[in-house]
Amino acid sequence: MIENPRIRPLDAFPVEHNGERMVCIRDPSGAAPDPIVLGFGAYYLITLFDGTRSRLDLQAEFARQFGEILTSEQLDRLIAELDRGYFLESPAFEDRVRAMRAEFAAAPARPAAHAGLCYHQEPERLRSELDEFFTRAAPKPAASNGAIHGLIAPHIDPRRGGLTYARAYAELAAAKERPELVVILGTSHYGAGPELFTATLKDYATPLGAVRTDREFVAHLKENYRAGDLFADELLHRNEHSIEFQALFLAYTLGIENYTVVPILVSSFHPMVARGVEPVSERRVGEFLEVLGSAIARERRRVTIVAGVDFGHIGRKFGDDFGVDQARAGELRAADRRLVGHIEKVDAGGFFGEVAGERDRYRICGLAPIYTQLALLAGHRARLLDYDIAMEPPTQSAVSFAGIAID
């Protein structure tokens, strides 16, 4: 039995279960494959699972909070259930991670992890689903006079953000000069280590065929980037949706031939937000921008840099003490408008300064990829294609996102 349990980083949100208000615990990384639903007492208890409290400490804390006795048997059952589900830092979880690494390493391509969950897995049904997004996204985009150098697209579930995805990728498809190399900067939701940039050599499988990774280009980045290890956290690609959804829409709009991709997950820049220090001054960021920027500058192929990002996250689901109504959504829209203003000028410093100045109060889930993209494309101009806010009444929360083209 684990004496001092430590809970892993997880998502938690309220749900109705058998007529009762409860809390669903989910592991977005996929290491714990099945969610678990807990009562509020059990949920309070696991918030105390920090690895420092003993089982006796936990029982005492529970009694102080609820005025009830938590028996050793009840606590043991909860700890055992969480450990079986891989929700705890434990030897069982370490074994699970080793097995996942071996499985991922052996896979010929990065599987389409969210096919059948966020979009149809069967190709014909998927095409019909995506066709509907693009039909509803009319009017047709105005074709760029040349190439689209950058594209900002959502990473929210395609069924919630489908119109914005369609308006962004229709612009890319309508450009007179289509990309031959697509650098995809995805938001890394689960990276918690020292590495800020994580690449993979694996192709990204989709139900419409595999989007091929440019292994030579990625190998060049790895060889020349000395401030970090681009493959130390490669397992992060396994279940991360922010690149997967871009690969899906690329395969739908461009097919799977005549271009390759460079998939890179970008982890949080929030320590720099807290210090008020622009990321380019951090060696790991500055050197990456130099290496990737130089590699792009040497390219004879047409290059597009795609950022798979969402904007604000507000409401009870994300830790706020308020539910989102139309007034709150209006505040979020106004804050996003200020960010889009910096993006339209392709002003990385201004964008970061706007977020840092508000201490990221709106939880921009794409700060790091957008900043990286804007820094690489300084001197260009951008156009807002679409903006939306997905309201989530059951959790009294909302997520905003946009489609933006950088010419």
47 and 181 in one domain?
Answer: no
Question: Which residues lie below 8 Å from residue 189, measured CB to CB, with a gap of 6+?
Answer: 28, 29, 240, 242, 365
Domain count, the chain: 2
Residue 114 lies in a domain: yes
% of the chain surpassing 70 pLDDT: 98
The residue-averaged pLDDT of 272-301 equals 96
Does the pTM surpass 0.75? The reply is yes
Verify that 298 and 198 share a domain, yes or no. yes
| Residue 98 pLDDT class (50, 70, 90 cuts) | very high
| Together in a domain, 86 and 144 | no
Instruction: State whether 32 and 134 are in the same domain.
Output: no
Within a domain: residue 6?
Answer: no
Final residue before a domain boundary, out of 50, 66, 101: 101
pLDDT at 140 over 70: no
Cβ proximity of 244 and 237 under 8 Å: no
The per-residue pLDDT of the chain, averaged, comes to 94
The amino acid that residue 368 corresponds to is: A
State the helix-helix crossing angle for 283-298 and 215-224, rounded to 10 degrees.
Answer: 140
Same structural domain, 195 and 342: yes
Can you tell me the distance from the alpha carbon of 5 to that of 46, in angstroms, rounded to the nearest whole number? 9
Kindly tell me if the per-residue pLDDT of 291 is higher than 80. yes
Share of the chain above pLDDT 90, in %: 89
Its sign, for the CA torsion 358, 359, 365, 371, is positive
* Contact predicate 59/75, CB 8 Å: yes
Among residues 101, 120, 142, which one ends one of the domains? 101
Residues 85 and 118 in one domain: no
The parent domain of residue 195 ranges over 109-406
- Has residue 143 got a pLDDT over 70? no
pLDDT value for 20: 84
105 touches 28 (CB < 8 A): no
Residue 89: is its pLDDT beyond 70? yes
Residue 289 placed within a domain = yes
> Do 85 and 168 share a domain, yes or no?
no
My answer on whether 167 and 304 are in the same domain is yes
CA-CA-CA-CA torsion sign (322, 323, 325, 331): positive
- Across 353-371, average pLDDT: 95
220 pLDDT more than 90: yes
Looking at residue 13, its pLDDT comes to: 81
Residue 179 lies in a domain: yes
So what's the pLDDT on residue 15? 83
The answer to whether residues 258 and 124 belong to one domain is yes
CB 97 within 8 A of CB 31: yes
pLDDT band of 312, cuts 50, 70, 90: very high
Residue 142 pLDDT: 63
Q: How many CA atoms lie within 13 A of 266 on its CB side?
A: 26
Instruction: Check whether residue 169 and residue 28 sit in a common domain.
Output: no
Reported as a pLDDT band with limits 50, 70 and 90, residue 138 is: confident
Q: What is the pLDDT of residue 104?
A: 93
- The answer for 241, left when phi > 0, alpha when psi is -120 to 50, beta otherwise, is alpha
- Provide the token pair at 303: 């290059």
184 and 216 in a single domain? The answer is: yes
Q: Is residue 138 located within the same domain as residue 84?
A: no
Q: Which residues make Cβ contacts (< 8 Å) with residue 156, sequence separation at least 6?
A: 310, 390, 399, 401
141: confidence class by pLDDT, cuts 50, 70, 90:
low
pLDDT score for 401? 98
CATH code: domain of residue 208? 3.40.830.10
Mean local confidence (pLDDT), 173-196? 92
4 occurs within a structural domain? no
For 239-282, what is each residue's pLDDT tens digit? 999 999 999 999 999 999 999 999 999 999 999 999 999 999 99
* Rounded distance between C-alpha atoms, residue 34 and residue 187, angstroms: 23
Q: Tens digits of per-residue pLDDT, 378-388?
A: 999 999 999 99
- Is 132 strand, coil or helix? helix
Has residue 2 been placed in a domain? no
Tokens of 112: 């389409």
* pLDDT classification of 193: cutoffs 50, 70, 90: confident
Instruction: Look at residue 5 and tell me if it is in a domain.
Output: no
Final residue in a domain of this structure, among 46, 76, 101: 101
Question: Would 115 be classed as within a structural domain?
Answer: yes
Longest dimension (CA), the chain: 71
